[in-house]
Amino acid sequence: MLENVEKFISGFAKSLHEETFIKLTLGNYKGSDEHLQKILVRLVDTKKGKRLFFLYRYDTRDTAKNYDFNEGIKILRHTLGTEFMAGHLFTTSNDFQLDIGKKGKSRLNTAKPTFKLKPTTSHDREKRRFVQQDSFYLQALGITTDAGEVRDKQQDKWKQINKFVETLGRFFENSLLANRKELKIVDMGCGKGYLTFATYDYFKNILGLDVKVIGVDTKSELVGLCNDIAKTCEFNGLQFVNGWIGDYDLQDTDILIALHACNTATDDAIYKGIKANADLIVVAPCCHQEIRPQIKSPEMLSGILRHGVMMERMAETITDGLRSLLLEKSGYSTKLFEFIATEHTPKNNMLVGTKLEKKSAAVETAAQIAEIKEFYGIKEQRLETLLNS
């Protein structure tokens, strides 16, 4: 080990020990990874105590991992002088700049500290991540490779999960649930559980809440696999249940979610959420098949709705619009928007219902719903039927 490299690493270890460490950059990468450019290291508070937050900067993306101090020092020892030929250490005592030349010659400059005060050690100062890419469950479910890269074929799913959890997180922060320490969340039509795992991981491991998450699906093989993976990950509050949404006995639930539960399964899910008094209902519907065959094009719109694609969009608009009104009628404020670009999924409507402390005028909303149904000749809408039963 070169003397200057050893001095640099000792300076790093000392700054951690004496709590003068601010940040570290490893650069001038000469290793075998053609995409890796540098590593940025700073302190982060975790439930296990202070850790080193390593941000790996690649040419087109970043990845991050936390290490304990000994592991972090080991990484430096392993990579400085073999892969990274430069290091810049900032402490409240001094700055240290290490440069290693081609023939192993090195130079270590010590300068006055750029930073005299320690930064706060919080994830909040980082670009907040909602889904942790290095989580084991993403590998086990086939979203990421063993190296933690998102598989090419899973990019769209990955983006959907991220956007869904991010949106859910934002609505949670602005809801009556925001200060809660315990939460129960149910994911209806959870499929392979991508969103269910990510939701659990976010609320449990990123927000640190005491959370119970349940995924419900009819596909028993997926339910079994998901339970196995949850066990492996020691996600003790995560459970998958085999069954139909309509049959599931949903009680004491704070948040109900459903991503692309097919056709009227979304209505079943919303209905269950309303009945369970969920504070937040967040759904991204798909396959809007119920309304389309019922629509009788109003004379005024016949020139437009004779085109299949227009009818398709209209059926989708009316279906989700009616769901939104029915949620409002049931005491929720609603937001209906595109949660992700169409290139990642054409089924990108998201409907969010936030329970109101005080109900709004249900009579007016009911009249509006009736008027819309009459205008389009719609006889039945599943959510309405369930709510009226």
Does the CA dihedral 216-220-226-228 come out positive or negative? positive
* 260 counts as binding ligand SAM under rule CB under 6 A: yes
* 272 counts as binding ligand SAM under rule CB under 6 A: no
| Tokens encoding 67 | 């290490």
* 362 counts as binding ligand SAM under rule CB under 6 A: no
Round to whole Å and give the CA distance between 240 and 200.
Answer: 12
Mutual orientation of helices 308-329 and 265-275 as an angle, nearest 10°? 10
User: Residue 76 or 213: which CB sits closer to ligand SAM?
Assistant: 213
| DSSP strand pairing (238-242 vs 210-217) | parallel
With beta carbons less than 8 A apart as the criterion, state whether 166 and 151 touch: no
β-bridge partners, 335: 352
With beta carbons less than 8 A apart as the criterion, state whether 381 and 291 touch: yes
* 159 counts as binding ligand SAM under rule CB under 6 A: no
| DSSP strand pairing (332-338 vs 49-58) | unpaired
Query: Candidates 84-92, 187-195, 225-233, 304-312 — which segment interacts with ligand SAM by CB under 6 A?
Result: 187-195
- For the bound state, the minimum distance from the C-beta of residue 126 to ligand SAM, rounded and expressed in Å, comes to 27
User: Residue 19 or 221: which CB sits closer to ligand SAM?
Assistant: 221
Query: Candidates 11-19, 204-212, 253-261, 356-364 — which segment interacts with ligand SAM by CB under 6 A?
Result: 253-261
Query: Candidates 25-33, 55-63, 189-197, 205-213 — which segment interacts with ligand SAM by CB under 6 A?
Result: 189-197
* 224 counts as binding ligand SAM under rule CB under 6 A: no
β-bridge partners, 97: 88, 109
Following CA atoms 84, 86, 87, 93 in sequence, which dihedral angle do they give, to the nearest 10 degrees?
160
* 262 counts as binding ligand SAM under rule CB under 6 A: yes
User: Residue 115 or 244: which CB sits closer to ligand SAM?
Assistant: 244
Amino acid at 162: N
> Would you give the binding string for ligand SAM spanning residues 295-324, x where CB under 6 A is met?
------------------------------
User: Residue 263 or 365: which CB sits closer to ligand SAM?
Assistant: 263
Using the rule CB under 6 A, which residue among 26, 80, 190, 274 binds ligand SAM?
Answer: 190
Q: State whether residue 192 is helix, strand or coil.
A: coil
DSSP code, position 379 = -
User: Residue 93 or 348: which CB sits closer to ligand SAM?
Assistant: 348
Binding site for ligand SAM (CB under 6 A): 189-192, 194-195, 216-219, 244-246, 259-262, 265, 268
